[in-house]
Structure 1
């Protein structure tokens, strides 16, 4: 799962079963000079965004002399699996848990039990609802990222009457809500606006997005603007659009900032994307847990890890950087 392992890395080939749900568990790094254990729970272990978080968390834990225990849900939306992972980590004696919650409310009881047991819990990428259900959050300001996407897509239409499709993620998460609402705000419409001619949940999955887009194109052949929750969804939508010979007709916006996504922007598959900094989320989260373990200092509040619109088709009034910059900073740690 990781590009490189040090000689001291321990890999534990254990499978944690929760009902019919399966999670892969890996203990990374040595026990550390201070015996500090840091837990990491991502939504899945396959999405490149969460792979990047895991890699960055491992590297930071190694640097800080801590042990990283990494678990993931079996699929996007696997709340039961994440609850089991929290309970497992508390049992292993972690000092803190970093979590990208599948649902902003579905894991709150387990988080409260962990905190009551003296474990600090930090949300990465996805805020809980309420936000103070965790000690702190390290994440993109997803509302601002959505606004940037919406402003660019609207401006890129150059005055054409919009016919908008929304390819959302998974209902119930703050990431999905904030990005969706931000796009609408930036674009200048609401959920009830007649400009929206199609909307589907894709779970941020490329295959599901492709199928959804194929179906929508049959119902709404005149669409010219597309919101996507992330770059895998944008890639799937593009495949459907390309197969239907509609590429010149439809402007695609997205959010993620992966190196693959930046390449898709450069190739003209995605018009613009909003780059995030998942490595920074993971690094700052691990540092906060280690600091807590050493001197009792708890992190607090929402900590914006930054975002940046990237496109090779800049529009007036929307600040952006080109794909050359994006290639240098894709999912890196540089601030916006």
Structure 2
């Protein structure tokens, strides 16, 4: 009898263990896997997006896998990350495309395998290569700072420097062309991926959204045209570089710098007077919406579709009558990055 009881005990234990293993496997299978691929893992904007997506996924009972390119423009790194995520069982991939065109074949391959792909912040080219896009209206962001710069300059003849991203990128074109539109210049429409030009724009240069490259680009522009009075920048790191170049040349007091992003450092630069105004966007909202859409797809099979505007606000400490804006305090409350 003792031997029988022992055998029975072992058998019962094995059944319980097997049941527990099956339950764990079922739980793992039920846990939605979401991929997030950003342009880099160092830019505070994408760091905050990753943090937001991680927190949202955890709260919803999902698993988030994150990846990134080594630098802005690293398409190969993003393709590798996408392949790894599909292999890991991701049924939704959220991506901020570094190369809007080059990433499209990898997106198509993922979608052909039943993976929902949502672009965050930056569209693919064409935009309908992804199932959906959750992003700032970058053209509107440009319009806001263009209107502000025009009003701040008053009746002075404009001599504008634009520190752009790099050729052919939709976000870079939309912000640049939106700025032109807001400033009252003859601008391409929001669908164009080509940078507009005008006689008032005395120097155009690529900054790649980087502070050091932005400073070098601004120094080069000042050598060509030393008496600029407006500087448009693709983002706030480029704006910081432009300010450093202007200060080094003793010209920082007479130039209006406007930008886009709304990161905490950028808002501090607005408060310090380095940037006159910036258009603030909201990466946490993009991330949360992306995770919500992924959970919906995992539970109901319903895919997100189309474009969703995640909002943009003009932030300045020098408001101008007739131009809607919020102050630095409001911008600080909603900024991302280190406060």
Shorter-normalised TM-score: what interval?
A: 0.7 to 0.9
Mapped partners of 1:73, 1:280: distance in 2: 22
Contact 2:34–2:90 (Cα < 8 Å) also in 1: yes
The yes-or-no answer on 1:163 pairing with 2:131 is no
Q: Which residue of 2 aligns with 1:116?
A: 112
Mapped partners of 1:213, 1:192: distance in 2: 18
Mapped partners of 1:94, 1:275: distance in 2: 31
Q: Which residue of 1 aligns with 2:57?
A: 61
Q: Which residue of 2 aligns with 1:144?
A: 140
Contact 1:163–1:197 (Cα < 8 Å) also in 2: yes
Selected match of 1:320 from 317, 322, 325: 325
Q: Give the TM-score normalised by the residue count of structure 1.
A: 0.88
Mapped partners of 1:65, 1:95: distance in 2: 15
Instruction: Map Cα deviations across residues 126-165 of structure 1 (whole Å, 9 max, x no partner).
Output: 0112221111110000000000011101111021110000
More strand by share: 1
Cα RMSD (Å): 1.3
Q: Which residue of 2 aligns with 1:288?
A: 293
Selected match of 1:268 from 264, 273, 288: 273
Moved segments of 4+, more than 3 Å = none
When residues 32 and 50 of structure 1 are mapped into structure 2, their CA distance, relative to the original with a 3 A threshold, is: farther
Selected match of 1:41 from 37, 42, 51: 37
Q: Which residue of 1 aligns with 2:121?
A: 125
Q: Secondary structure at the match of 1:216?
A: helix
More helix by share: 2
Instruction: Map Cα deviations across residues 163-213 of structure 1 (whole Å, 9 max, x no partner).
Output: 000000122221111101100111112434211111111110001001111
Q: Which residue of 2 aligns with 1:182?
A: 178
When residues 202 and 32 of structure 1 are mapped into structure 2, their CA distance, relative to the original with a 3 A threshold, is: farther
Q: Which residue of 2 aligns with 1:89?
A: 85
The yes-or-no answer on 1:310 pairing with 2:315 is yes
Bigger-Rg structure (1/2) = 2
Aligned residue runs from structure 1 range 156-305, under 5 A: 156-190=152-186, 191-305=196-310
Count of residue pairs the alignment pairs up: 302
Q: Which residue of 1 aligns with 2:12?
A: none
> What runs of 5+ residues in structure 1 fail to find an aligned partner?
1-30
Q: Secondary structure at the match of 1:166?
A: strand
